[in-house]
A and B are shown apart, each in its own frame.
Chain A
Amino acid sequence: MTELVGRSVARVDGRAKVTGAAIYAADQPVPDALHGVLVMSTVARGEVLRIDASAALAHPGVVAVLTHRDLPKLVVPHFPYVKRFIPMQGTAVHHVGQPVAIVLATTLEQAQEGAALVSVDYRAEKPSVVIDDAREPAFLPQPFRDRPNEIRRGDAASALREAPVRLEARYSSATRHHNPIEPHTTTARWDGDRVTLFESAQGVLVTRTVVATAFGLPPESVRVVAPYLGGGFGAKGPGWPHTLLTAAAARVARRPVRLVLSRAQMYTSAGHRAEYRQHLRIGATREGRLTAIAETSTAQLTATEDSVFNRSDSTIGLYTCPNLHVRHEGVRLDVASSSYMRSPETTSHFGLETALDELSWQLSIDPLELRRRNHAEFNQETGERLTSKRLLECYAMAAERFGWARRQPRTGATKDGDEYVGWGMATETHTFAAMPSTASVTVGVDGKALAQLATQDIGTGTYTVVTQIVADALGLPLRDVQAQIGDSALPPAGLSAASATIPSISGSVDQAARAARDAVVALAVADRHSPLFGAAPAEIETRDGRLVHLRDRHRHDTYRAVVGRAGEPVRRTATVLNQGGHTYGVVFLEARVHARFGSVRVTRVVTAHDLGRVMNRRTARGQVLGGVTWGIGHALMEHTVFDRNTGRVVNPNLSTYLVPVNADAPPEVETLFVDKPDPASTAMGARGFGETPITGVPAAIGNAIYHATGRRLRDLPITQDKLL
């Protein structure tokens, strides 16, 4: 019996968020906390020679200025802490914006002023900060997270030589920053050898592991609390130095310390999408069937680590192609570590989906038809049949709604006023993960249920979906169910990253709730005071908070009465494992290019996705709306600019690093879903979804611009100047 799961249920955390009552990490009142502000390196490569804190210390309210000399020695944590060093443990400087001191003061203003008064002398060397300036040639890094950076299938070189049709192109994209609206923040409070962190974290448990490792503490000595998060997009998934440094400073100062990164500091503190180059060679038959793909990408790495975050998963497996050779290469640069940023696979997917568009023009085959011809029914690496992939249905639904059949197969064919109008499409796909998750559900003596698990809601709707699942399983109204998440003290569960939340937690929450229901039913039928006494549990239906005998509906009881009589809450816990996989979809869109100004507007968008069962239509649609607009930012505006001489970020703010504003978003986005449960998913038939919508958007925009103007742009973002 399903009533709420799948429906467009309004967010249960809505009231807290529209009244300002939701407590985010920096809102948490912590008495006696000092304010901490980081002093960041202004050179990209070299060494700290001298730190003069006298002026800062003379400033009223400044309590301490801590440097590498003051902090305890910390252990560098393993993944997900991606930076392979901790700043302020020595004098070496590896990038601009590396913390070199932390100022503690009574008020925020005093700490900020104090930080500005710290003067630091450096020995500086000339840095290389962009791929063009790399000191060494690109190399193939070691496998990252057990996945190799070179993938071969068949014989791509020979197949390319023999291919009747060939395409070769180079694609590239600039560095991007996540820029969640809520800045990263940590408040650390020690109590002996135990520490509590109010943290802007996408995963309370991974943050706990990172902090415990760094301080050599058992995990239970660290508690991480993050009930609400003001956006993460990957930036708040891994652990970062500011968290460790705040905890260390609080330990030294013996007072709680609160630290909030400034917007500018966020450009060197918490990862980014790395600068990226891609060289693609494709071989095909005259009918457009792919016979070979050879791809070498080059990513920005750093002097201290060589993790490739933007893998070419779609090149490797989205389409049928017998011969493949992919290399993820990189160059070491003097910049801060990159990391995962919403839909990391978008980075390479732009090249693949643009190349397919180019091939379609070369062969005069409709781009949608070209993709259909190369549709993969089998996993390209294992050969297994992909039983629940419904990409072809997505193509059909969205093409029909968009009116793709009316597309003019010529460039520059449509002009409306001052604007050229073009249509573009691209397949969307992303990998999702599933992480072991335990959930507990408690029915209290008041008949209300509480679900508890240490997962997160980063805006994606976890609170709401958990509440829906529990309400359905128990037969309780939504208002009688509460979800408690975002605290490492709760049952261990996966974090909100890698599109993993729903596929990781849904099965566990459902099973725990069903077990709790069955336990209450068992109590009722064994209770002489219950009208249901002696009934067979299978004959009891639960609905609206009531337990009703199916054949004799006069016999009924309530959760509140049954558990109330028992006198103690009923709690059940469950762990249901699931597997990761891929989620698919498609985006069709219309773009308009101003004939004289080169400005681009995305005016109409239709998407269709297959995410297995849709748990909540409105939160799923929210992910698509967000993804489409992120795709517009990625394609048309976002780029972080480095000064090549100093290594400094030139635009570390929101007025020169442009993100889409309301007027940039397409007025209309139609979001279609196949909505059929995936039988292979133990998460009630749902698959991971958050990162799929966006992946095709940048290529679809570039393809629409080509259709509109006949100009093929392969370097992102496609800023206005490139279209003049």
Chain B
Amino acid sequence: MAESTGAARPTRRTVLKTAAVTAGGAALAPRTAVAAGAGEVAAGPGETAVVTLSVNGKRRAVEVEPRVTLLDALRERLGLTGTKKGCDRGECGACTVLVDGERVKSCLTLAVMRQGSEITTIEGLAQGERLHPVQEAFIRHDAFQCGGCTSGQIMSAVACIDEGHAGSDQEIREWMSGNLCRCACYQNIVAAVADAAKGARS
């Protein structure tokens, strides 16, 4: 194990903060600031705020730094790992969730900005054992392979249908193009969305 050089600027030598490591996980005590109300947030590196997020119908308090994305709050703090991170920069759609019913790439929005919103993730779509019609349609039409994009595709599809952008295969192809599928199940995704949309209309 490396050690601290003791030099004023610990250059040239890599430094472990030996104490923190050898203490077997006694992490640095975080400096915590509690936000007084929704939207009021502490700033500064390392400072955290407790925010309340409403996810899948449950209100949950979560302590985050202001820079934490909604995606990382869901995955790393709330244990909702059904939402996936593919690119962390708004390009793939794997992290799509619904915020007040609209599809949002959760890697492009901060958790602190979404206090007071109703967030729906893939875990919140089924009613108990009963799958959402879009989830069922995805299985029926084999609209996934590896599943890496699937949570995002399904959330996006739910919104796409709600928006009225699932009127034809051509329309679905365009309005589902913000969600990449590297396995390229695209024809089956279109079929699943069209099928679920038909059900939603009837």
The answer to whether A63 and B21 touch across the interface, beta carbons within 8 angstroms, is yes
Of A20, A630, A659, the residue contacting B82 (CB under 8 A) is: A20
Q: Which residues of A contact B189 (CB under 8 A)?
A: 662
B148 closest partner in A (C-beta): A230
Inter-chain contacts of A653 with B (CB < 8 A)? 87, 89, 91
User: Which single residue of chain B is at the shortest CB-CB distance from A630?
Assistant: B184
The yes or no answer to B166 lying at the interface (CB within 8 A) is: no
Say yes or no: is B49 at the interface (Cβ < 8 Å to chain A).
Answer: no
* Residues from 162 to 188 in B contacting A, C-beta threshold 8 Å: 169-170, 172-174, 176-188
Given A53-B15, A106-B28, A181-B86, A253-B148 contact (CB < 8 Å)? no
Decide if B125 touches A19 in the complex (CB within 8 Å): yes
**Restricting to B109-146, which residues have a CB under 8 Å from any CB of A?**
121-123, 125-126, 131, 135, 138-140, 142, 144-146
CB distance from A253 to the nearest CB of B (A): 5
Closest to A632 in B: B184
Which residues of A (1-55) have their CB < 8 Å from a CB of B? 10-11, 13-24, 26-27, 29, 32, 50-54
Question: How many angstroms between the C-alpha atoms of A629 and B68 in the bound complex?
Answer: 35
A155 in the interface, Cβ–Cβ < 8 Å?
A: no
Which residues B1-37 have CB closer than 8 A to chain A? 1-2, 9-17, 20-22, 24-25, 27-28, 30-31
| Contact status B79-A11, CB under 8 Å | no
Interface-lining segment among A66-74, A305-313, A509-517, A701-709? A66-74
What are the residues of chain A within 8 A of B138 when measuring CB–CB? 14, 18
Scoring A residues 83 to 121 as 1 if CB is less than 8 Å from chain B, else 0, what string do you get? 000000000000000000100001111100100000000
Q: How far is the CA of A229 from the CA of B24 in the complex (A)?
A: 31
Q: B residues within 8 A CB of A70?
A: 1-2, 14, 16
Complexed CA–CA distance, A381 and B135 (Å) = 50
The answer to whether A662 and B176 touch across the interface, beta carbons within 8 angstroms, is yes
Contact string against B for A residues 247-270, beta-carbon threshold 8 Å, 1 for contact and 0 otherwise: 000001111000010110000000
Cβ of A183 and Cβ of B131 under 8 Å apart? Answer: no
Query: Measured between alpha carbons, how far is A32 from B20 in the docked complex, in Å?
Result: 13
Whether, in the assembled complex, B92 has its beta carbon less than 8 Å from a beta carbon of chain A, the answer is yes
Number of interface residues, chain B, beta carbon within 8 A: 82
Q: What are the residues of chain B within 8 A of A518 when measuring CB–CB?
A: none
Task: Annotate A155-188 by CB proximity to B: 1 below 8 A, 0 otherwise.
Answer: 0000000000000000000000001111100000
Whether B181 and A181, one on each chain, are in contact in the complex, defined by CB atoms closer than 8 angstroms, is yes
- A343 CB to nearest B CB, Å: 13
List chain B residues, Cβ under 8 A from A253: 16, 21
Is there contact, CB below 8 Å, between B173 and A663? yes
B147 within 8 A of A: yes
A108 vs B27: C-alpha distance when bound (angstroms)? 14
User: Taking the nearest CB of chain B, how far is it from the CB of A435, in angstroms?
Assistant: 21
Q: Is B50 an interface residue (CB 8 A)?
A: no
C-alpha gap A344/B2 in the complex (Å): 43
A-B residue pairs in contact (CB < 8 Å), sample of 10: A18-B144, A19-B125, A22-B147, A53-B15, A60-B45, A110-B46, A182-B84, A622-B185, A625-B184, A626-B145
Closest 8 CB pairs of A and B: A20-B82, A230-B148, A60-B46, A459-B146, A459-B145, A27-B81, A629-B184, A17-B147
